[in-house]
Chains A and B, each alone.
Chain A
Amino acid sequence: MRRLNILVARLRGLLGREAVIRDIEEELRFHVEMETRANVEKGMTPGEARLAALRSFGNVGSIRDAAYEVRGGGMMEGILRDARYGARSLAKNPGFTAVAVLTLALGIGANTAIFGVIDAVLLRPLPYPEAERLVKLYGRAETGENVPVAPADFLEQFRRANSFERLAAYRELSFNLTVQERPERVSGTVVTPDFFSVLGVNAQVGRAITAGQDEPGGPRVVVLSHALWQRWYGRDRGVIGKTVNLDGEPRTVVGVMPEGFQFPAGSELWASSRFAVPEHPLKPTNDPSNRRDTHYFDVIGRLKAGVTQGQAKAEADAIVGRLKQEYGDEEEDVGAAVVPLHEDVVGETRPALMLLIGAVAILLLIACANVANILLARGATRQKEITLRMALGASRVRLVRQLLTESLLLAVAGGGLGVLLALWGLAPLKALIPPDMSDGTALRLDGRVLVFTAVISLGSALVFGLFPALSLADQDLNSVLKEGGRGAASGARSNRARRLLVVSEIALAAVLLTGAGLLTRSFYRLSDVPVGFNPQNVLSAQLTLPQARYPDKNDRALFVRQVTERLSGSPGVSSAAVISRLPLDPGGSTRSVEVQGRTPPPSGDVNPDYLVVSPAYFRSLGIPLLEGRDFTERDDPNAPRVVIVNEATARHFWPGQDPLGRMIKVDEDWSQVVGVVGDVRQHSLAQTPPPSVYVPYAQDPWPFMSFVVRTKSDLVGAAPALETAIHSADKDVPLYKVRAVSDVVAQSLSARRWRMLLLSLFALTALTLSCLGIYGVTAYSVTQRTHEIGIRMTLGAQKRDVLRLVIAQGVKLALAGVGVGLLAALAVMRLATSLLYGVDVADPLTLAGVFVILVGVTLMACLVPALRATKVDPMAALRYE
């Protein structure tokens, strides 16, 4: 409070200097008058009395100034004076100022932008009340992976656990939504009644799905997203109570969620379930509530107040332990996992963001080193001014304050420009936000981010300003005078400092370049990874047959057969087929299998991926058939069960043997292996192909599928052909996610591509800055050594010797910097191995590349000043003294 008073008084003093001075003078005048009056009473004449009063007062001017100093002049005015002086001195040197401000703006802007992303993604809580209590509950499989919870476990055990206030299950899926005869595909979520109360979110219009009102067995209802409501109903509140057609079934709309509510990401509507848990994707009409052998939905929970994540996990673990005892192998999990919802959503974005903030921090350090370097160089030319001021009695503190104020001005200007740069760069950074957060997360430079910017700006001013200021103000006047005005800042100590700065700049640049190099190498390794299929000239599209209209398996099989047959006959199409889930698409389904004549290891056996494909799938996607045969139309429900396995499966179950003709039990049926196909990167390019079992579509016709259409030349015409073929079989089924398979592959790399590009951009900027730094130091030292070079040349040194002299100096710095930098990079990048693929941190190619680039660039940077040195005219150089 008192501090505030002082501040207010000072500010007032600052703003109304004249008024304050008038105020003080008036008060002093009154004092003199009273004194005079008293003197008159003692018997003096009025003239004498006034003189005596003034005399006793002493120097009115200095009293006034002393008083003014207290009332606000003082420090504030000193700072303003310093600032004005600094601004003038910076304006006198526009070249220097521009370079320094731009350098800082690059560093600060990059930090601001990346921090903006980090703030939005990592630091802000999710937009739900008491979001820190929200968790996701998983089972833990033997492999250590987190897996969804089984229905019976969820209903009978976890939901009764003490740690959770509430638990809710949900399953994302897409619906065919028909409004006014127009089918559209929308992403939605089937939720249990507690879903919205776990999140703590209410509907904006109408009501959300609620426990008590929307229990299983009751009427089935839907809640719409704000976006869907706007798109289809023009925000008509009358939508409440209307009926929509979802996958061929009528549902009542009960509510609309607020704008921006998007959980899970991309969901446009939420539907209640027919059962106590979301319906099973494959058997939607069978109640899965008692099953412990299927895992297909997510569980979110709200911890009770005061319960920690660790306690909840311990309780959940104990529950699984009891289940294991009670049900033995029927319980497939070995434990449970409780993950904060925020962490679950952020996922692997965290290490990537950490890498980037590290990168921009390094960039800012380099920028600071550079500006410090320029300041030191400039200090040399300001020697005279500084010496003069010191000789006139300016204190060291005063000088340091003056020089720091200049640095501060630079930092503020750099920060301001940096914010503009960040604003401009923010939009593309949206790509860094994890998909599960992208909708609710706005990237903006708000107060928090600007405070961060202000702090790093001031921090950098200290970093780059303090050292030059101290070294400038901390010098021996005598030695300056003795050195004949050439300056002590150009002395050995300051030179050493400048070299040190350049070495650290190069070292930091080396760290960034190594990081960028490793990410780039990883990216290309991944791009070159054999995906196991040929994505060129293949179109894919997804489709779902509504349960209500295609309840019969044979109808679904017939539909697919008709469409694929018609497609194969289309001009330009070479083959077409369906698969239950396209490679690299999220999700997937696995099955536990039994292999005839094989005893599974006691820890359990792998569960291969389970994929349903129609004949010609392998041909359409270009997956090599290595042995045996492809499926044919004769592999129908009446024919013996058959499967095709991939190499990974064959290697695992029948090592060193021929898998053809072997029997394997998938689900309920024993099937014969009729073929072996090549491995496919089914889940991600970075993951080794999982063992997979392919089943003919006709023997297990899934309602949802992806079409793959291989064309003869290019993809033009493939999409219309596909649409025509589908609509001739059923005009009410919408196609969605129509994409070139090559795009699917590229898409799966896009996050990595972004990281690589950003880091490369930062590394390039760092390289440029340190290049400027080394150029500055070399150029400066050449000017400084003109005299020496002149003497050398007089004594017979050749141009070549001079060249070598200058360049050797630069190269020495570069070598030191690169050496230190590469060691640091090795240490730092070990922390980021999760972002690498197929390259070792000590990748010789990357390290060698960084070495060559940095040394090469240093050579170039030294070359210009070195050439200038060779043009020194010995006579002129000697006379220069």
Chain B
Amino acid sequence: MTQHKADLLQGTLDMLILKALSLGPLHGYGVISRIRQMSGEMLDVEQGSLYPALYRIEQRGWVNSKWEVSETGRRAKFYTLTRAGRRQLDEEEAGWDRLVLAIAKMRQAT
């Protein structure tokens, strides 16, 4: 992998996880893979931060979890986005867009 990796900005992990799950239920490993895939291999989420983040999000009621049989035939814990989670994702994306816009304006205003 020669590509440059982007650094994760503080506070964006939750949004990334929610975004990944917005396409359908995933287990933890799947979340990491999908984030990598969706970001065009630019974002890598550490396992060490993924699971605490998942549990936190679950406690906030944004995702549900359930043990199910995975594609490999082994039992895995799958996470599903809840309605509250979808709302939260919308909010965070809107906030993010505002931030990006603001930063872009700042940078152009030379």
A complexed with B: yes
What is the interface of chain A, defined by CB distance below 8 A to chain B?
Answer: 1-2, 5-6, 9, 23-24, 26-28, 30-31, 33-35, 37, 56-59, 62-63, 66-67, 69-71
B96 at the interface (CB under 8 A from A): no
Q: Which of A27, A66, A67 gathers the greatest number of chain B CB atoms within 10 Å?
A: A27
Q: Flag B51-68 by CB within 8 Å of A: 1 or 0 each.
A: 110011011110000000
A5: chain B residues within 8 A (beta carbon): 59-61
A59: chain B residues at CB < 8 Å are: 48
Please measure, in the bound complex, the distance between the C-alpha atom of A9 and the C-alpha atom of B58, giving whole angstroms: 9
Minimal Cβ-Cβ distance residue in B for A53? B47
A-B contact pairs, 7 of them (CB 8 A): A27-B76, A28-B51, A31-B27, A63-B48, A66-B52, A70-B52, A70-B59
Give 7 nearest A-B pairs by CB, closest first.
Answer: A34-B29, A70-B55, A67-B51, A6-B59, A70-B52, A71-B55, A63-B48
A35 to B72, CA, bound (A): 12
B52 contacts A33, C-beta separation under 8 Å: no
Residue from B28, B60, B84 in contact with A31 in the complex, judged by beta carbons closer than 8 Å: B28
Taken together as a complex, chains A and B put the C-alpha atoms of A117 and B103 apart, in Å, by 65
For residue B77, CB closer than 8 A to chain A, the reply is yes
The A contact surface, by secondary structure, is helix
Contacts of A71 in B (CB 8 A): 55, 59
**Does B105 sit at the interface, judged by CB under 8 A?**
no
Question: Residues of B contacting A35 with CB < 8 Å?
Answer: 29
In angstroms, Cα B74 to Cα A44, docked, is 22
Given the interface pairs A9-B59, A70-B59, the reply to whether A31 lies near B47 with Cβ below 8 Å is yes
- Bound complex: CA A2 to CA B85 (Å): 12
* Alpha-carbon distance between A23 and B55 when the two chains are bound, in angstroms: 12
What is the distance, in angstroms, from B88's C-beta to the closest C-beta of chain A? 11
* Known interface pairs A1-B61, A9-B59, A37-B72; A30-B47 also in contact (CB < 8 Å): no
Chain B residue nearest to A67 (CB atoms) is: B51
| B59 with A30: CB separation less than 8 A | no
Nearest-CB distance from A305 to chain B (Å)? Answer: 42
| A23: chain B residues within 8 A (beta carbon) | 77
Complex Cα spacing A63 to B49, Å: 8
- Picked from A30, A56, A63, the residue with its CB within 8 Å of the CB of B27 is A30
Contact B60 A2 (CB under 8 A): yes
How close is A24's CB to chain B, nearest CB, in angstroms?
A: 7
By a beta-carbon cutoff of 8 Å, the part of chain B in contact with chain A is 27-29, 46-48, 51-52, 55-56, 58-61, 70, 72, 74-77, 84
A794 to B75, CA, bound (A): 83
Would you call A27 and B77 a contact (CB within 8 A)?
yes
**Which single residue of chain A is at the shortest CB-CB distance from B77?**
A27
Q: How far is the CB of A264 from chain B (nearest CB, A)?
A: 57
B27 to A, closest residue via Cβ = A30
Closest A residue to B28 by beta carbon equals A31
Most B CB contacts (10 A, CB to CB) among A33, A34, A69 go to A34
Q: How far is the CA of A452 from the CA of B57 in the complex (A)?
A: 37
Enumerate chain A residues within 8 angstroms of B47, measured Cβ to Cβ.
28, 31, 56-58, 63
Once bound together, how far apart are the Cα atoms of A397 and B66, in whole Å? 38
On whether the beta carbons of A30 and B77 are closer than 8 Å, the reply is yes
Which residue in A2, A28, A34, A58 is a CB contact (below 8 Å) of B72?
Answer: A34
Bound together, the chains give a CA A34 to CA B58 distance in angstroms of: 22
Is the pair A69, B52 in contact by a Cβ cutoff of 8 Å?
yes
Nearest CB on A from B84, distance (A)? 8
A58 touches B48 (CB 8 A): yes
Distance between B108 CB and nearest chain A CB, rounded to angstroms: 39
In the complex, A167 Cα to B31 Cα: how many Å? 75
Chain A residues with CB under 8 Å of B58's CB are 9
Q: For residue B70, which residues in chain A have a CB less than 8 angstroms away from its CB?
A: 30
- Check A30/B29 contact, CB under 8 A, given A2-B61, A6-B60, A71-B59: yes
Chain B residues contacting A27 (CB-CB under 8 Å) are: 27-28, 51, 76-77
- Give bound CA distance, A27 to B66, whole Å: 11
Knowing that A24-B51, A30-B27 touch, tell me 14 more A-B residue pairs with CB under 8 angstroms: A2-B61, A5-B60, A6-B59, A27-B27, A33-B72, A33-B74, A57-B47, A57-B48, A58-B47, A62-B48, A66-B48, A66-B52, A69-B52, A71-B55
Question: What's the Cα separation between A28 and B47 when bound, in Å?
Answer: 9
Residues of the B chain whose Cβ atoms lie less than 8 Å from the Cβ of A37: 72
Q: How far is the CA of A7 from the CA of B84 in the complex (A)?
A: 18
A37 CB to nearest chain B CB (Å): 7
* Chain A contacts for B72, CB-based, 8 A: 33-34, 37
Q: Which residue of B lies closest to A28 (CB)?
A: B51
Residue from A30, A56, A63 whose CB has the most chain B CB atoms within 10 Å = A30
Contact residues in A for B59 (Cβ distance below 8 Å): 2, 5-6, 9, 70-71
Tell me, rounded to whole Å, the shortest Cβ–Cβ distance linking A593 to chain B. Answer: 82
CB distance from B58 to the nearest CB of A (A): 8
Chain B residues, Cβ within 8 Å of A67? 51-52, 55
Name the distance in Å between A66's Cβ and chain B's nearest Cβ.
5
Q: Which residues of A contact B55 (CB under 8 A)?
A: 67, 70-71
Which residues of chain B are near A70, meaning CB under 8 Å?
A: 52, 55-56, 59
CB of B75 to closest CB in A, whole Å: 8
Most buried by B among A31, A62, A66, A69: A31
Bound CA–CA A76/B50 (angstroms): 23
- Kindly state the separation between the CA atoms of A57 and B51 in the bound complex, as whole angstroms: 12
Whose C-beta in chain B lies nearest to the C-beta of A69? B52
CB pair B29 A31 closer than 8 Å: yes
Q: How far is the CB of A723 from chain B (nearest CB, A)?
A: 80
Nearest to A57 among chain B residues (CB) is: B47
Chain A residues with Cβ below 8 Å from B27 are: 27, 30-31
Contacts of A1 in B (CB 8 A): 61
Residue of A23, A35, A63 ringed by the most chain B CB atoms within 10 A: A63
> What residues on B are CB-neighbors of A31 within 8 Å?
27-29, 47
Q: With both chains docked as a complex, state the minimum distance between the C-beta of A820 and any C-beta of chain B, in angstroms.
A: 52
Most chain A CB neighbours (cut-off 10 Å) among B28, B29, B58: B29
Q: In the bound complex, how far is the Cα of B74 from the Cα of A26, in angstroms?
A: 11
User: When chains A and B are docked, how far (Å) is the Cα of A33 from the Cα of B55?
Assistant: 20
Point out the residues of chain A lying under 8 angstroms from B48, CB to CB. 57-59, 62-63, 66
CB distance from A69 to the nearest CB of B (A): 7
A34–B56 CA distance with the chains assembled, in angstroms: 23
Distance in Å: Cβ of B77 to nearest Cβ of chain A:
5
B75: chain A residues within 8 A (beta carbon) = 26, 30
| Distance of B2 from chain A, by nearest CB (Å) | 16
The residue of chain A having its C-beta at the shortest distance from the C-beta of B47 within the complex is: A57
Give the shortest distance, in Å, between A402 (CB) and chain B (any CB): 26
A93 to B101: give the CA distance in the assembly, Å.
Answer: 64
A41 to chain B, nearest CB (A): 12
How many angstroms from the CA of A219 to the CA of B47 in the assembled complex? 91
Q: Which A residues are in CB contact (< 8 Å) with B56?
A: 70
- Kindly list chain A residues whose C-beta atoms are within 8 Å of the C-beta of B61: 1-2, 5
Q: Which B residues are CB-close (under 8 A) to A69?
A: 52
Residues of B within 8 A of A58 (CB): 46-48
The docked-state distance in angstroms from the alpha carbon of A34 to that of B76 is 10
Q: Which residue of B lies closest to A7 (CB)?
A: B59
CA distance A625 to B51 in the complex (A): 100
CB-CB nearest in chain B for A33:
B74
Smallest CB separation, A831 vs chain B (Å): 51
